[in-house]
Chain A
Amino acid sequence: MGGMALGSLFSRDGLLGAPGIVQSLHHKPRAKRVVQLFMAGAASQVDTFDYKPLLQKKDGQPWDPGEEVELFQSRPGATFASPWAFKPYGRSGKMMSDIVAPLGEVVDDLAFLHNVVGKTGVHSQATLLQTTGFNFPGFPSAGSWVSYALGSENDDLPTFVVLPDHRGFASNGAKNWGTAFLPALHQGTIIRPGNEKPIADLRPPESSFITPHSDRAGLHLLNRLNASHAAEREGDNRLTARVRAYELAGAMQLSATDALDLSNEPQYIKDMYGLAPEGPGVDDSVMNVKAETEFFGRKCLVARRLLERGVRFIQIWSGNDNGFPRRNWDSHENLKRDHEPLALGMAHGSAALIKDLKQRGMLDDTIILWTTEFGRMPCSQGSSGRDHNPFAFTNWMCGGGLKPGTYGESDEWGFKPRDRSNYSTVYDIHATILHQLGIDHKQLTVRHNGIDRRLTDVHGRILNAMIG
């Protein structure tokens, strides 16, 4: 498969600026680009977007949902009211907690699903499920599928970009943006905004012999020799494609540098995204709101600049693996300590991204998806933490022609879907995103080891109410 797909790419001398495998879209698209915001470690729905007054009422009382509950780490503790107050926001009066208050300004643009159901409460499996549609490794990331399907909108930047948490990768590491059986070209390219080397190998390393002169002269010589090598071997367009790849690499050096240079952004924009005056070096020896806002906001601002330059798919990660001290959303021990700075930072940055895209007219054809591997339990674990809840959690989407509102409810505890026979899955969300991009999720297939593989496996129904 890969060979054939690439053959058709190369015959157009494509590469980065390549059209995708879907030569004519399955239907009229509403969106062109996707941003996936991923809260690693599992963000609590009942402390952010899914208001549950019953928890307040029954706080400290034994939690009895009326059925057996098997938790990941612990036995169910008492009912645990959210430590944060909830208030209504926007025209819709959507109830949200204080730690996501910055999103209140754009809440009327958001489409909520509070009845998303996962498969297991294991971080690795659940993270893969959200990023690849399968709960075990070996499948392409949603970003790789989109890159493969639609190709690039630009000539000099990768189609699929990953902005990881600078403190480390989430569960499964690079598997969350790997191509598996799709060509390597569609892997997520890691960009680390604020880092000395934001993109690996973009520039020559420290060297005793590489100078700007030798570098330029070397590339020039290389292209001459490679061009004549290709000319002597007709009928093999891989050789000319490789010559072109070096030219595009040079272009990418320029445009990536430009995309990552925030110095020309006006101060009010930097403020809107919450960048700290001291920049990425802001003190976070103890996790705090200022630092988390800087970290997430910078990634959101860079994301906007990349979207403007035609990057198709961007993953933004909040939170790393389960190292120590905790720097992710996996609040088993202390919900307040972890969730408050992470959520406020996330809410500030993502609200800024939405406002900024809107004022540039880009929100109409950019989908933003907020997701996490699963939710957290309505009961306490230990004194002030919550265990995993894969039975119901929250996603929201925004932009890309999607209608704002609330499309799925959880039960009164935030424990399981209110309507147990009618809930949402990652397949539905992926199917809907592909639909908005003009792709029928059942038609985008690649045969691998004898099976026509899809991002949505054999599932997925488009969320018709949301697409209007």
Chain B
Amino acid sequence: MPNWLWMWPGLFLSSVSAEIDFERDVAPVFEARCLFCHNRADAEGDFNLETRAAAFGHPDAIVPGEASQSYLVQMIGGTLPEMPEDGDPLTHDEVSKIRQWIDAGADWPEDRILVDKRPRDLDWWSLKPLAGAPVPQNDVLHPVDAFIHANLRRKQLKPVKEADPRILIRRLSYDLTGLPPTPEQAEGFVDAYDPASSMTTRAAVWEEWVDRYLDAPEFGEKWAQHWLDLARFAETHGYDKDKLRPNAWPYRDYVIRSFNEDKPYARFVQEQVAGDVLYPGQPDGILGLGFLAAGPWDYVGHWEVGEDKLDGRIAKHLDRDEMISAVFNVFQSTTVQCAQCHHHKFDPILMEDYYRLHAVFAAVDRADRIYHGLTNEQRERRKVIVRQLNELSVEQDKILVQLDREVEARISGIERRIAEIKETYGTSEEPQYGYHSQMASIPDTEKWVQVDLGASIEPTQVFLISAYHPRDGNGEGYGFPLRYRVEGSNDPEFRKDVRLIWDATSEDQPNPGSKTVSMDVGEPAIRYVRVTATRLARYDTNYLFALGELQAIDARGRTNYALNKAVTALDSLELEDNWQTSHLVDGIYFRANSEGAPFEELKALEAEMERIQAEIRSPEILARQEEIVAQQKALREQLKPYQSESLVYAANANWVNGSRFMSTNGDPRPIHLLHRGDLRSPGKAMRPGALPLWDGVGETFFESDNWEEGEARAELARYLTRRDNPLIWRSIANRLWQWTFGKPLAGTPNDFGRMGILPSHPELLEYLAARLRDDPQQSIKRMIRLLVTSQTYRRSSRHDEANARIDSGNQYWWRADRRRLTAEEFRDSLLAVSGALNPDERGGPSFYDFVIRKPRHSPHYEYHLHDPDDPKSHRRTIYRFVVRSQPQPMLTTLDCADPSISVPIRDESTSPLQALTQWNHVLVEAMARRFGQRLSEEAPDDLVKRAFLLALGRPPNARERELLGSHSRKYGSASMARVLFNLNDFIYLD
């Protein structure tokens, strides 16, 4: 029995009852056959069948007691009924019951709302059980070729011959490592892969080179990019302000390492959905969760607005939708997000299914998370380094103590004088500190304190002096707000006549320390001065507002109108002698000695002290000290991988709250089905579950409402990696083909639904998917090896007129597809060929190829200010810091992926803007200059040949040698290099 039938058991009850029952006989038919179009949202033909009121609102659709007068019956009855528009007519029995129901008065309870309940139609290629496919028996041995040949033969296509060895090695090197082969590699391969030798020898040589590239660390650096495109990975939040995610990169390194270590695919998937639950205590279990968090995040909506407001709840909803879409588009090639406002229009996915997934992610947000876990070996190594560091600091102390003694002997007199000055002239440390608010738990809390000047007057200026807190080294500036405003009014409640005197609310302010903050006041007169802190200062884990003194000064700077006047505050922490509201205007405050003759003397004495200290330090001692500092620095660097708090930006249910971004602590937010996807129209409450898209999988994960957040994700991970999940294996097999051959077997890799493109070679896809699933290692590398060892992979990309007449798009693989370098491959090639690339700088924090301006509020990423000769940026492009709002201009023009969305296939556009970029970009200029130098040094006698071997993997022909050589002689080798970097031959792989 199909698994949808439980939905309306009434359907199978005997229909002998003479009495027609709306609930039993009519509603199920409407819900299964009519509501899809005739609902409130679509109301096709202006007819909505959701409620009695709506349906009867149509003038003559249903005429109670008069079935034959009812338009509805005319539409569904007769020999060629007009409705349902798509699909089979209703059965005779169904039509007759609807007639009887109308004739009997069309009873329909007011409160009964019908919903679309189409049966799930699972009859679709991607949802069928994955059975595998037998390899066609023909004269071809390699299974991939056997499938391809079977189709070529059927289509009467004749495959072209194998590509030239030089083309082959360049193709293989780029496809597996993203870099050009070095001249040595190219020569080595061409020598070994001799056309004269036997097929077996050549096959062995090919396999050896395939393995060499698969085992190289560059393999992961190339293939991880495919995955990061899907995972919409970037290192800023996007949206407004576009702040940085300094701890996103460990996920990128995790993906690279997973490819290099050939992690079994199911495990790779599980780690990215619920690694923390399924692999507790293992860093990869947390690192993988970077996948869920990799997409854009609305900082303002989450951090500044918060869940108390509708806009904040909309942000949470969009956030979950983003995670859900990523999981299902990437792992399942399913467009689940289409079921947000209505049931999926084309695939058997209901709104309920979609909102069950919201429940799975109801407790998670995106935030930094500790992933560190050390092995015993690493712990030992750490101990050794720490011990060395300790020894060094003991030695350092010894040197310093000895020095201090000598210094002390000579400066004690000076020190005494310094103390005297301080005592006499300032740095008063009296106990009347000032005003102190009560503590708050979040910084963006408003607190105010105000002074009543006693009468409406016109002070010329207001001075704010920060509080001094002598304990814990807080010192001056204690509690001074990061953001605040100063207002004047004649209304003690500040409800009217409010005059803004000073506005520092839009950006965090530097702490004034002991400096007085002064502001002009003038007319009109005011009686009350109020200071309102809008972002509090942090103290430990709390936030507060403190102020040492407030003065309102007259024009001559003599009279302080505020002195000993009445002070009120929103709240106050009255603490013995130290903190009282009245201390704000008591004339007592901390005065760092900062002006006048005594100050000059103080500075002179301090300078003298420094001079003596410098004198006492001998060059030997200084040298040793420097050595120690250098050793310490090196050791600390070594310690970095073993530090206890390594963070990754990941899915997270438990973090330290900030502003209005509050952790759920694993307590799921209530999730409701949302009518039309609108948070203001919540429907029934939802429990976690996934899509019942194949037999044997249920809808909900838990029977009761008590479930653990982590367990819900773990259930989802188990669901995804089930052996009988027909989608996941087909999805990844299709991608592996695409990433090897350049285009997928099924043309819409993120959508295997009815709106997707059917696979060109269904049997081959079936075979590959089953093969990966049944491989005990679920090895990605083994699959790639299988694909690239085929003859299909090694074919020439040459045109053939006869074949093209039958299959111009090369859908059947009678030749290889010529492809353009990706944006990253282009940049990496510039660096590699010119010799600038630093290949050993793998992993770790990303390099910037921009300069950040205004980092605190909304960072500006200024690419044009970056120096292309900066060696820190001479790393592979996968290690660049990926910005969402301001994508890298050169790479964007070259069609690199937009990290706001999962990108399964990149565009390959050609435009004059691209030509301008490749010809004039500063990086191209810098690398051409460098390449030119390299050529002049390495091969002054045959620049062109060496240039071709490095850049194109082949020697030049006579014409090329002549043309480029003459250009080089006239304009220099760098100018020739610039031409080379723009050749079609450089940018396209045959």
For residue B500, CB closer than 8 A to chain A, the reply is: yes
> Contacting chain B: which of A96-104, A214-222, A283-291, A428-436?
A214-222
> Contacting chain A: which of B7-15, B45-53, B297-305?
B297-305
Q: Flag A195-227 by CB within 8 Å of B: 1 or 0 each.
A: 001001111110111110110011101101110
Contact B929 A209 (CB under 8 A): yes
Contact B322 A136 (CB under 8 A): yes
Given A236-B799, A324-B506, decide whether A449 and B310 contact each other with a Cβ distance below 8 A: no
Contact B971 A213 (CB under 8 A): yes
Interface residue ranges of A187-201 to B (CB < 8 Å): 187, 189, 197, 200-201
Residue in chain B with minimal CB distance to A137: B900
Query: Measured between alpha carbons, how far is A239 from B820 in the docked complex, in Å?
Result: 10
Query: Measured between alpha carbons, how far is A382 from B495 in the docked complex, in Å?
Result: 10
Partner of B963, one of A174, A210, A221: A221
Kindly list chain B residues whose C-beta atoms are within 8 Å of the C-beta of A219: 919
Partner of B755, one of A122, A156, A326, A450: A450
Given A72-B311, A209-B975, A450-B338, decide whether A138 and B915 contact each other with a Cβ distance below 8 A: no
For residue B603, CB closer than 8 A to chain A, the reply is: no
Partner of B886, one of A127, A169, A248, A451: A169
Query: Measured between alpha carbons, how far is A136 from B901 in the docked complex, in Å?
Result: 10
Contact B912 A249 (CB under 8 A): yes
* Smallest CB separation, A383 vs chain B (Å): 4
> Contacting chain B: which of A22-30, A175-183, A356-364, A417-425?
A175-183
Residue in chain B with minimal CB distance to A16: B912
For residue A333, CB closer than 8 A to chain B, the reply is: yes
For residue B215, CB closer than 8 A to chain A, the reply is: no
Contact B750 A218 (CB under 8 A): no
Contact B857 A218 (CB under 8 A): no
For residue A171, CB closer than 8 A to chain B, the reply is: yes
- Contact count band on B: 35 or more
Query: Measured between alpha carbons, how far is A429 from B898 in the docked complex, in Å?
Result: 27
Partner of A185, one of B886, B909, B975: B909
Q: Flag A217-252 by CB within 8 Å of B: 1 or 0 each.
A: 111011011101110011110110111011011011
Given A123-B300, A209-B975, A242-B984, decide whether A450 and B506 contact each other with a Cβ distance below 8 A: no
Kindly list chain A residues whose C-beta atoms are within 8 Å of the C-beta of B808: 235
Given A201-B921, A326-B506, A450-B750, decide whether A225 and B963 contact each other with a Cβ distance below 8 A: yes
* Smallest CB separation, A223 vs chain B (Å): 10
Contact B238 A204 (CB under 8 A): no
For residue B309, CB closer than 8 A to chain A, the reply is: yes
For residue B960, CB closer than 8 A to chain A, the reply is: yes
Contact B506 A322 (CB under 8 A): yes
Kindly list chain A residues whose C-beta atoms are within 8 Å of the C-beta of B798: 233
Kindly list chain A residues whose C-beta atoms are within 8 Å of the C-beta of B983: 222, 225-226, 229
Given A229-B983, A451-B755, decide whether A184 and B858 contact each other with a Cβ distance below 8 A: no
Interface residue ranges of B329-359 to A (CB < 8 Å): 329, 335, 338, 341, 346
Query: Measured between alpha carbons, how far is A450 from B959 in the docked complex, in Å?
Result: 49
Query: Measured between alpha carbons, how far is A324 from B860 in the docked complex, in Å?
Result: 13
For residue B979, CB closer than 8 A to chain A, the reply is: yes
* Smallest CB separation, A154 vs chain B (Å): 11
Residue in chain A with minimal CB distance to B990: A233
* Smallest CB separation, B914 vs chain A (Å): 6
For residue B149, CB closer than 8 A to chain A, the reply is: no
Contact B907 A183 (CB under 8 A): yes
Query: Measured between alpha carbons, how far is A230 from B240 in the docked complex, in Å?
Result: 45
* Smallest CB separation, A124 vs chain B (Å): 4
Interface residue ranges of B505-553 to A (CB < 8 Å): 505-507
Partner of A138, one of B242, B346, B804, B900: B900
Query: Measured between alpha carbons, how far is A257 from B731 in the docked complex, in Å?
Result: 49
Q: Flag B967-986 by CB within 8 Å of A: 1 or 0 each.
A: 10011101100110011110
* Smallest CB separation, B515 vs chain A (Å): 20
Contact A122 B911 (CB under 8 A): no
Contact B503 A334 (CB under 8 A): yes
Contact B756 A450 (CB under 8 A): yes
Contact B922 A205 (CB under 8 A): yes
Query: Measured between alpha carbons, how far is A242 from B983 in the docked complex, in Å?
Result: 10
Residue in chain A with minimal CB distance to B854: A323
Kindly list chain A residues whose C-beta atoms are within 8 Å of the C-beta of B506: 322, 324, 326, 332-333
Kindly list chain A residues whose C-beta atoms are within 8 Å of the C-beta of B854: 168, 323
Query: Measured between alpha carbons, how far is A189 from B979 in the docked complex, in Å?
Result: 25
* Smallest CB separation, B31 vs chain A (Å): 22
Partner of A246, one of B318, B329, B886, B915: B915
> Contacting chain A: which of B63-71, B175-183, B632-640, B889-897?
B889-897
Query: Measured between alpha carbons, how far is A187 from B960 in the docked complex, in Å?
Result: 36
Contact A209 B972 (CB under 8 A): yes
Contact B963 A224 (CB under 8 A): yes
Query: Measured between alpha carbons, how far is A10 from B907 in the docked complex, in Å?
Result: 14
For residue A6, CB closer than 8 A to chain B, the reply is: yes
* Smallest CB separation, A464 vs chain B (Å): 18
Contact A209 B919 (CB under 8 A): no
Q: Flag B115-138 by CB within 8 Å of A: 1 or 0 each.
A: 000000000000000000000000
For residue B925, CB closer than 8 A to chain A, the reply is: yes
Contact B889 A200 (CB under 8 A): yes
Partner of B748, one of A124, A450, A458: A450
For residue A60, CB closer than 8 A to chain B, the reply is: yes
Contact A249 B915 (CB under 8 A): yes
* Smallest CB separation, A240 vs chain B (Å): 10
Contact B984 A226 (CB under 8 A): yes
Contact A3 B907 (CB under 8 A): yes
Kindly list chain A residues whose C-beta atoms are within 8 Å of the C-beta of B238: 124, 137, 172, 175
Q: Flag A309-324 by CB within 8 Å of B: 1 or 0 each.
A: 0000000000001111
* Smallest CB separation, A224 vs chain B (Å): 7
Query: Measured between alpha carbons, how far is A208 from B300 in the docked complex, in Å?
Result: 46
Kindly list chain B residues whose C-beta atoms are within 8 Å of the C-beta of A120: 301, 310-311, 314
Kindly list chain A residues whose C-beta atoms are within 8 Å of the C-beta of B309: 70, 72
Contact A173 B298 (CB under 8 A): no
Contact B886 A210 (CB under 8 A): no
Contact A239 B898 (CB under 8 A): no
Contact A137 B971 (CB under 8 A): no
For residue A452, CB closer than 8 A to chain B, the reply is: yes
Contact B967 A218 (CB under 8 A): yes
Residue in chain B with minimal CB distance to A219: B919
Instruction: Choose among A78, A205, A230 the residue with the greatest number of B CB atoms under 10 Å from its CB.
Output: A205
Interface residue ranges of A23-62 to B (CB < 8 Å): 60
Partner of B910, one of A10, A127, A322: A10
For residue A303, CB closer than 8 A to chain B, the reply is: no
* Smallest CB separation, A263 vs chain B (Å): 24
Query: Measured between alpha carbons, how far is A67 from B486 in the docked complex, in Å?
Result: 32
Query: Measured between alpha carbons, how far is A430 from B670 in the docked complex, in Å?
Result: 36
* Smallest CB separation, B117 vs chain A (Å): 21
Kindly list chain B residues whose C-beta atoms are within 8 Å of the C-beta of A238: 818, 820, 908, 910, 988
Kindly list chain A residues whose C-beta atoms are within 8 Å of the C-beta of B487: 383
For residue B822, CB closer than 8 A to chain A, the reply is: no
Interface residue ranges of B940-990 to A (CB < 8 Å): 959-960, 963-964, 967, 970-972, 974-975, 978-979, 982-985, 987-988, 990
What are 28 A-B interface contacts by the 8 Å CB criterion? A2-B907, A6-B909, A78-B495, A120-B311, A137-B900, A138-B901, A174-B886, A179-B898, A183-B909, A185-B911, A201-B919, A207-B925, A210-B975, A224-B963, A225-B984, A226-B982, A228-B959, A229-B983, A230-B984, A233-B799, A235-B808, A242-B915, A245-B910, A248-B912, A321-B241, A333-B500, A334-B500, A450-B346
Which B residues fall within an 8 A CB radius of A?
238-242, 296, 298, 300-301, 305, 309-311, 314-315, 318, 322, 329, 335, 338, 341, 346, 485, 487, 495-496, 498-500, 503, 505-507, 748, 750-751, 753, 755-756, 797-799, 801, 804, 808, 818, 820, 854, 857-858, 860, 864, 884-887, 889, 892-895, 898, 900-902, 904, 907-917, 919-922, 925, 928-929, 932, 959-960, 963-964, 967, 970-972, 974-975, 978-979, 982-985, 987-988, 990
Which 10 residue pairs spanning A and B have beta carbons closest together?
A450-B751, A173-B885, A235-B799, A124-B240, A450-B335, A324-B507, A124-B239, A137-B900, A214-B971, A138-B901
